[in-house]
Structure 1
Protein backbone atom coordinates (compact mmCIF):
# COMPACT_ATOMS: atom_id res chain seq x y z
CA UNK A 1 0.00 0.00 0.00
CA UNK A 2 2.84 2.45 0.80
CA UNK A 3 4.96 3.63 -2.11
CA UNK A 4 8.50 2.36 -2.35
CA UNK A 5 9.97 5.62 -3.56
CA UNK A 6 12.90 6.20 -5.85
CA UNK A 7 14.87 9.42 -5.77
CA UNK A 8 12.69 10.62 -8.62
CA UNK A 9 9.31 9.75 -7.04
CA UNK A 10 10.06 10.76 -3.47
CA UNK A 11 8.87 14.01 -1.97
CA UNK A 12 11.62 16.58 -2.61
CA UNK A 13 12.19 16.98 1.13
CA UNK A 14 13.09 13.26 1.41
CA UNK A 15 15.65 13.17 -1.38
CA UNK A 16 18.64 14.48 0.56
CA UNK A 17 18.18 11.83 3.29
CA UNK A 18 17.75 9.14 0.64
CA UNK A 19 20.91 10.25 -1.18
CA UNK A 20 22.80 10.23 2.11
CA UNK A 21 21.60 6.69 2.81
CA UNK A 22 22.70 5.55 -0.64
CA UNK A 23 26.16 7.10 -0.09
CA UNK A 24 26.44 5.47 3.35
CA UNK A 25 25.13 1.98 2.47
CA UNK A 26 25.74 1.82 -1.25
CA UNK A 27 22.05 1.22 -1.93
CA UNK A 28 18.58 2.40 -0.91
CA UNK A 29 16.95 -0.11 1.44
CA UNK A 30 13.25 -0.70 0.76
CA UNK A 31 12.43 0.43 4.31
CA UNK A 32 14.02 3.84 3.69
CA UNK A 33 12.29 4.05 0.30
CA UNK A 34 8.94 3.58 2.01
CA UNK A 35 9.64 5.89 4.94
CA UNK A 36 10.40 8.59 2.36
CA UNK A 37 6.65 9.19 2.12
CA UNK A 38 7.19 11.24 5.30
CA UNK A 39 10.25 13.46 4.97
CA UNK A 40 9.98 14.37 8.65
CA UNK A 41 9.88 10.79 9.90
CA UNK A 42 12.68 9.70 7.57
CA UNK A 43 14.93 12.62 8.47
CA UNK A 44 14.12 12.30 12.16
CA UNK A 45 14.87 8.59 12.25
CA UNK A 46 18.14 8.95 10.32
CA UNK A 47 19.31 11.80 12.58
CA UNK A 48 18.34 9.97 15.77
CA UNK A 49 19.90 6.69 14.68
CA UNK A 50 23.13 8.53 13.77
CA UNK A 51 23.11 10.17 17.19
CA UNK A 52 22.46 6.80 18.86
CA UNK A 53 25.52 5.44 17.04
CA UNK A 54 27.60 8.12 18.78
CA UNK A 55 26.52 7.23 22.31
CA UNK A 56 28.89 5.81 24.89
CA UNK A 57 27.28 2.37 24.73
CA UNK A 58 29.57 0.04 22.84
CA UNK A 59 28.40 -1.00 19.34
CA UNK A 60 27.25 -4.50 20.31
CA UNK A 61 25.37 -3.17 23.36
CA UNK A 62 23.59 -0.69 21.08
CA UNK A 63 22.62 -3.55 18.79
CA UNK A 64 21.25 -5.47 21.80
CA UNK A 65 18.93 -2.53 22.48
CA UNK A 66 17.87 -2.41 18.83
CA UNK A 67 17.26 -6.16 18.63
CA UNK A 68 15.19 -6.15 21.83
CA UNK A 69 12.94 -3.47 20.34
CA UNK A 70 12.85 -5.08 16.89
CA UNK A 71 11.96 -8.56 18.15
CA UNK A 72 9.45 -7.23 20.68
CA UNK A 73 7.74 -5.18 17.96
CA UNK A 74 8.00 -8.02 15.43
CA UNK A 75 9.76 -5.89 12.82
CA UNK A 76 11.18 -8.67 10.68
CA UNK A 77 13.06 -6.35 8.31
CA UNK A 78 14.68 -4.67 11.32
CA UNK A 79 15.69 -8.03 12.80
CA UNK A 80 17.30 -9.02 9.50
CA UNK A 81 19.10 -5.70 9.04
CA UNK A 82 20.46 -5.68 12.58
CA UNK A 83 21.39 -9.36 12.44
CA UNK A 84 23.62 -8.34 9.53
CA UNK A 85 25.03 -5.46 11.54
CA UNK A 86 25.82 -7.77 14.46
CA UNK A 87 27.65 -10.11 12.08
CA UNK A 88 29.64 -7.16 10.73
CA UNK A 89 30.57 -6.28 14.32
CA UNK A 90 31.86 -9.83 14.82
CA UNK A 91 29.12 -10.98 17.19
CA UNK A 92 29.02 -14.76 17.57
CA UNK A 93 26.18 -16.88 16.23
CA UNK A 94 24.98 -17.82 19.74
CA UNK A 95 24.49 -14.18 20.71
CA UNK A 96 22.64 -13.41 17.50
CA UNK A 97 20.41 -16.48 17.85
CA UNK A 98 19.56 -15.64 21.47
CA UNK A 99 18.63 -12.07 20.53
CA UNK A 100 16.49 -13.25 17.62
CA UNK A 101 14.77 -15.80 19.87
CA UNK A 102 14.37 -13.34 22.77
CA UNK A 103 16.38 -15.57 25.09
CA UNK A 104 18.93 -14.72 27.80
CA UNK A 105 22.46 -13.93 26.63
CA UNK A 106 25.53 -15.80 27.87
CA UNK A 107 27.49 -12.55 28.15
CA UNK A 108 26.39 -11.17 31.55
CA UNK A 109 27.16 -7.57 30.63
CA UNK A 110 25.11 -7.71 27.43
CA UNK A 111 22.37 -9.60 29.28
CA UNK A 112 22.24 -6.65 31.69
CA UNK A 113 21.56 -4.36 28.70
CA UNK A 114 18.89 -6.73 27.41
CA UNK A 115 17.19 -6.98 30.80
CA UNK A 116 17.36 -3.24 31.41
CA UNK A 117 15.90 -2.51 27.95
CA UNK A 118 13.06 -4.94 28.60
CA UNK A 119 12.42 -3.36 32.00
CA UNK A 120 12.34 0.17 30.59
CA UNK A 121 9.83 -1.03 28.01
CA UNK A 122 7.77 -3.02 30.51
CA UNK A 123 7.51 -0.13 32.96
CA UNK A 124 7.37 2.71 30.40
CA UNK A 125 10.48 4.09 32.06
CA UNK A 126 9.30 3.53 35.62
CA UNK A 127 12.27 1.28 36.41
CA UNK A 128 12.60 0.60 40.13
CA UNK A 129 15.87 1.49 41.86
CA UNK A 130 16.82 -2.16 42.30
CA UNK A 131 16.68 -2.80 38.55
CA UNK A 132 18.61 0.38 37.78
CA UNK A 133 21.26 -0.61 40.33
CA UNK A 134 21.51 -4.06 38.71
CA UNK A 135 22.22 -2.40 35.36
CA UNK A 136 24.76 -0.01 36.88
CA UNK A 137 26.46 -2.90 38.73
CA UNK A 138 27.64 -4.24 35.36
CA UNK A 139 29.76 -1.16 34.75
CA UNK A 140 27.13 0.92 33.01
CA UNK A 141 26.44 4.53 33.90
CA UNK A 142 23.44 6.81 34.32
CA UNK A 143 24.33 8.18 30.89
CA UNK A 144 24.15 4.65 29.47
CA UNK A 145 20.71 4.19 31.05
CA UNK A 146 19.47 7.29 29.27
CA UNK A 147 21.13 6.15 26.04
CA UNK A 148 19.13 2.92 26.28
CA UNK A 149 16.00 5.09 26.43
CA UNK A 150 17.21 6.96 23.35
CA UNK A 151 17.71 3.69 21.48
CA UNK A 152 14.27 2.48 22.51
CA UNK A 153 12.66 5.69 21.27
CA UNK A 154 14.58 5.74 18.01
CA UNK A 155 13.95 2.13 17.14
CA UNK A 156 10.36 2.10 18.36
CA UNK A 157 9.71 4.82 15.77
CA UNK A 158 11.40 2.84 13.00
CA UNK A 159 9.95 -0.56 13.89
CA UNK A 160 6.41 0.79 14.03
CA UNK A 161 6.85 2.73 10.79
CA UNK A 162 8.41 -0.27 9.05
CA UNK A 163 5.53 -2.47 10.12
CA UNK A 164 2.97 0.12 9.04
CA UNK A 165 4.59 0.50 5.61
CA UNK A 166 5.07 -3.29 5.27
CA UNK A 167 8.78 -2.78 4.72
Structure 2
Protein backbone atom coordinates (compact mmCIF):
# COMPACT_ATOMS: atom_id res chain seq x y z
CA UNK A 1 0.00 0.00 0.00
CA UNK A 2 1.49 3.38 -0.92
CA UNK A 3 2.20 5.77 1.92
CA UNK A 4 1.51 9.51 1.90
CA UNK A 5 5.24 10.11 1.67
CA UNK A 6 5.59 8.19 -1.59
CA UNK A 7 2.20 8.58 -3.27
CA UNK A 8 1.53 11.02 -6.06
CA UNK A 9 -1.57 13.18 -6.01
CA UNK A 10 -4.55 10.85 -6.48
CA UNK A 11 -6.45 11.45 -9.68
CA UNK A 12 -9.77 12.05 -7.93
CA UNK A 13 -8.63 14.43 -5.15
CA UNK A 14 -7.19 17.68 -6.45
CA UNK A 15 -4.97 19.96 -4.40
CA UNK A 16 -7.54 22.74 -4.36
CA UNK A 17 -6.93 26.39 -3.63
CA UNK A 18 -9.57 28.88 -2.49
CA UNK A 19 -9.89 29.82 -6.17
CA UNK A 20 -10.28 26.30 -7.57
CA UNK A 21 -12.31 24.67 -4.81
CA UNK A 22 -16.07 24.21 -4.99
CA UNK A 23 -17.70 27.46 -3.94
CA UNK A 24 -19.07 25.98 -0.70
CA UNK A 25 -15.56 25.01 0.43
CA UNK A 26 -13.82 28.32 -0.30
CA UNK A 27 -14.63 30.11 2.99
CA UNK A 28 -13.26 27.15 4.95
CA UNK A 29 -10.02 27.06 2.95
CA UNK A 30 -9.57 30.79 3.38
CA UNK A 31 -10.14 30.52 7.14
CA UNK A 32 -7.70 27.61 7.47
CA UNK A 33 -5.04 29.46 5.49
CA UNK A 34 -5.47 32.58 7.62
CA UNK A 35 -5.28 30.58 10.86
CA UNK A 36 -2.23 28.45 9.98
CA UNK A 37 -0.40 30.77 7.60
CA UNK A 38 -0.53 28.14 4.85
CA UNK A 39 -3.07 25.78 3.31
CA UNK A 40 -2.42 22.15 4.32
CA UNK A 41 -2.64 19.75 1.40
CA UNK A 42 -4.95 17.55 3.45
CA UNK A 43 -7.51 20.35 3.74
CA UNK A 44 -7.06 21.20 0.07
CA UNK A 45 -7.98 17.65 -0.90
CA UNK A 46 -10.88 17.41 1.54
CA UNK A 47 -12.35 20.45 -0.18
CA UNK A 48 -13.44 18.06 -2.93
CA UNK A 49 -16.33 17.45 -0.53
CA UNK A 50 -17.40 20.74 1.04
CA UNK A 51 -19.79 18.81 3.28
CA UNK A 52 -17.05 16.65 4.76
CA UNK A 53 -14.69 19.59 5.22
CA UNK A 54 -17.38 21.66 6.90
CA UNK A 55 -18.53 18.71 8.99
CA UNK A 56 -15.03 18.01 10.28
CA UNK A 57 -14.41 21.66 11.15
CA UNK A 58 -17.67 21.88 13.09
CA UNK A 59 -17.13 18.60 14.93
CA UNK A 60 -13.53 19.54 15.72
CA UNK A 61 -14.70 22.84 17.21
CA UNK A 62 -17.28 20.98 19.30
CA UNK A 63 -14.65 18.55 20.57
CA UNK A 64 -12.37 21.46 21.46
CA UNK A 65 -15.19 22.91 23.59
CA UNK A 66 -15.76 19.76 25.67
CA UNK A 67 -14.95 19.42 29.36
CA UNK A 68 -11.93 17.27 28.56
CA UNK A 69 -8.83 19.39 29.11
CA UNK A 70 -6.57 20.20 26.12
CA UNK A 71 -3.96 17.58 27.04
CA UNK A 72 -6.59 14.87 27.37
CA UNK A 73 -8.13 15.80 24.02
CA UNK A 74 -4.76 15.44 22.32
CA UNK A 75 -4.27 12.04 23.93
CA UNK A 76 -7.59 10.90 22.47
CA UNK A 77 -6.70 12.29 19.04
CA UNK A 78 -3.22 10.76 18.87
CA UNK A 79 -4.56 7.43 20.10
CA UNK A 80 -6.99 7.38 17.17
CA UNK A 81 -4.46 8.75 14.67
CA UNK A 82 -1.82 6.14 15.44
CA UNK A 83 -4.38 3.33 15.54
CA UNK A 84 -5.59 4.35 12.08
CA UNK A 85 -2.04 5.01 10.83
CA UNK A 86 -2.83 8.54 9.67
CA UNK A 87 0.62 10.04 9.02
CA UNK A 88 -0.74 13.56 8.63
CA UNK A 89 -2.86 13.54 11.79
CA UNK A 90 0.00 12.15 13.87
CA UNK A 91 2.41 14.82 12.60
CA UNK A 92 -0.11 17.64 13.05
CA UNK A 93 -1.07 16.66 16.58
CA UNK A 94 2.49 15.87 17.58
CA UNK A 95 3.22 19.50 16.72
CA UNK A 96 0.21 20.70 18.70
CA UNK A 97 1.02 18.55 21.72
CA UNK A 98 4.67 19.65 21.61
CA UNK A 99 3.56 23.27 21.91
CA UNK A 100 1.06 22.36 24.60
CA UNK A 101 3.61 20.57 26.79
CA UNK A 102 6.72 22.68 26.13
CA UNK A 103 8.20 24.30 29.25
CA UNK A 104 7.42 28.01 29.33
CA UNK A 105 11.07 28.88 29.90
CA UNK A 106 12.51 26.78 27.07
CA UNK A 107 14.78 28.50 24.56
CA UNK A 108 14.59 25.73 21.96
CA UNK A 109 12.17 25.95 19.08
CA UNK A 110 9.42 23.31 19.30
CA UNK A 111 10.57 21.49 16.17
CA UNK A 112 14.14 21.22 17.43
CA UNK A 113 13.25 20.02 20.93
CA UNK A 114 13.27 16.27 21.64
CA UNK A 115 9.87 14.63 21.94
CA UNK A 116 8.61 14.33 25.49
CA UNK A 117 8.15 10.85 27.03
CA UNK A 118 4.38 11.33 26.75
CA UNK A 119 4.48 12.12 23.03
CA UNK A 120 7.02 9.38 22.30
CA UNK A 121 4.80 6.82 24.04
CA UNK A 122 1.69 7.97 22.17
CA UNK A 123 3.47 7.77 18.82
CA UNK A 124 4.78 4.29 19.66
CA UNK A 125 1.38 3.13 20.96
CA UNK A 126 2.91 2.28 24.32
CA UNK A 127 1.65 2.79 27.87
CA UNK A 128 1.85 6.45 28.90
CA UNK A 129 3.99 7.62 31.82
CA UNK A 130 1.03 9.48 33.33
CA UNK A 131 -1.39 7.03 35.00
CA UNK A 132 -4.53 9.09 34.43
CA UNK A 133 -3.75 9.80 30.77
CA UNK A 134 -2.90 6.12 30.25
CA UNK A 135 -6.36 5.26 31.56
CA UNK A 136 -7.82 7.68 29.02
CA UNK A 137 -5.80 6.07 26.23
CA UNK A 138 -6.94 2.59 27.29
CA UNK A 139 -10.56 3.70 27.52
CA UNK A 140 -10.40 5.23 24.04
CA UNK A 141 -9.08 1.96 22.65
CA UNK A 142 -11.73 0.01 24.56
CA UNK A 143 -14.51 2.10 22.97
CA UNK A 144 -13.00 1.46 19.54
CA UNK A 145 -12.30 -2.23 20.07
CA UNK A 146 -15.79 -2.98 21.43
CA UNK A 147 -17.72 -0.60 19.13
CA UNK A 148 -18.87 1.17 22.28
CA UNK A 149 -19.84 -1.94 24.24
CA UNK A 150 -17.22 -1.21 26.90
CA UNK A 151 -17.17 -3.74 29.77
CA UNK A 152 -18.53 -2.30 33.02
CA UNK A 153 -15.17 -2.83 34.73
CA UNK A 154 -13.38 -0.74 32.09
CA UNK A 155 -15.89 2.08 32.40
CA UNK A 156 -15.67 1.97 36.18
CA UNK A 157 -11.87 2.13 36.00
CA UNK A 158 -12.13 5.18 33.74
CA UNK A 159 -14.45 6.91 36.20
CA UNK A 160 -12.25 5.94 39.14
CA UNK A 161 -9.37 7.90 37.57
CA UNK A 162 -11.25 11.17 37.91
CA UNK A 163 -13.15 11.21 34.63
CA UNK A 164 -16.91 11.70 34.40
CA UNK A 165 -19.75 10.06 32.47
CA UNK A 166 -19.79 13.25 30.38
CA UNK A 167 -16.10 12.74 29.60
CA UNK A 168 -16.86 9.18 28.46
CA UNK A 169 -19.32 10.47 25.88
CA UNK A 170 -16.91 13.24 24.89
CA UNK A 171 -14.36 10.53 24.07
CA UNK A 172 -16.97 9.10 21.68
CA UNK A 173 -17.30 12.55 20.09
CA UNK A 174 -13.53 12.69 19.64
CA UNK A 175 -13.51 9.21 18.13
CA UNK A 176 -16.21 10.14 15.64
CA UNK A 177 -14.52 13.40 14.69
CA UNK A 178 -11.06 11.99 14.18
CA UNK A 179 -12.17 8.73 12.62
CA UNK A 180 -13.64 10.98 9.92
CA UNK A 181 -10.42 12.94 9.42
CA UNK A 182 -8.03 9.99 9.60
CA UNK A 183 -9.99 7.93 7.10
CA UNK A 184 -10.42 10.90 4.76
CA UNK A 185 -6.71 11.75 4.92
CA UNK A 186 -5.79 8.15 4.17
CA UNK A 187 -8.29 7.97 1.31
CA UNK A 188 -6.90 11.13 -0.30
CA UNK A 189 -3.29 10.12 0.51
CA UNK A 190 -2.75 13.52 2.11
CA UNK A 191 0.99 14.16 2.57
CA UNK A 192 2.79 15.71 5.51
CA UNK A 193 3.36 19.36 4.60
CA UNK A 194 6.79 20.99 5.00
CA UNK A 195 5.94 22.85 8.25
CA UNK A 196 5.10 19.49 9.84
CA UNK A 197 8.10 17.58 8.45
CA UNK A 198 9.99 17.68 11.79
CA UNK A 199 7.10 15.74 13.31
CA UNK A 200 6.78 13.09 10.60
CA UNK A 201 5.81 9.65 11.85
CA UNK A 202 6.24 6.17 10.48
CA UNK A 203 3.99 3.44 11.88
CA UNK A 204 5.32 0.12 13.01
CA UNK A 205 4.79 -2.81 10.60
CA UNK A 206 2.19 -4.17 13.02
CA UNK A 207 0.17 -0.95 12.80
CA UNK A 208 0.20 -1.02 8.99
CA UNK A 209 -0.78 -4.71 8.97
CA UNK A 210 -3.92 -4.02 10.97
CA UNK A 211 -5.19 -1.74 8.21
CA UNK A 212 -5.35 -4.50 5.59
CA UNK A 213 -8.09 -7.14 5.81
Q: TM-score range by the shorter chain?
A: over 0.9
The answer for the alignment partner of 1:5 in structure 2 is 16
Instruction: Determine which of 58, 71, 74 is the counterpart of 2:82.
Output: 71
Deviations 1:66-119 (A, max 9, x none): 001100100001100000000010166110000000000010110011000000
Aligned-partner Cα distance in 2 for 1:112–1:62: 13
Aligned-partner Cα distance in 2 for 1:88–1:47: 23
The answer for the alignment partner of 2:148 in structure 1 is 125
Query: Do residues 58 (structure 1) and 69 (structure 2) align?
Result: yes
The answer for the alignment partner of 1:17 in structure 2 is 28
The answer for the alignment partner of 2:134 in structure 1 is 111
Query: Do residues 38 (structure 1) and 61 (structure 2) align?
Result: no
Aligned-partner Cα distance in 2 for 1:24–1:125: 34
Deviations 1:5-40 (A, max 9, x none): 011110000001111112222221111011000000
- Measured on the aligned residues, the alpha-carbon RMSD in Å equals 0.9
Aligned-partner Cα distance in 2 for 1:160–1:45: 12
- Could you state the TM-score of these two structures normalised by the residue count of structure 1? 0.98
The answer for the alignment partner of 2:107 in structure 1 is none
Name the count of aligned residue pairs: 167
Structure 2 unaligned blocks of 5 or more: 1-9, 103-114, 191-213
Aligned-partner Cα distance in 2 for 1:112–1:26: 36
The answer for the alignment partner of 2:181 in structure 1 is 158
Q: Aligned to 1:117, what secondary structure does the other structure show?
A: helix
- Could you state the TM-score of these two structures normalised by the residue count of structure 2? 0.77
Aligned-partner Cα distance in 2 for 1:19–1:53: 21
Query: Do residues 145 (structure 1) and 168 (structure 2) align?
Result: yes
C-alpha displacement at 1:162, in angstroms? 0.1
Q: Aligned to 2:133, what secondary structure does the other structure show?
A: helix
Structure number, greater radius of gyration: 2
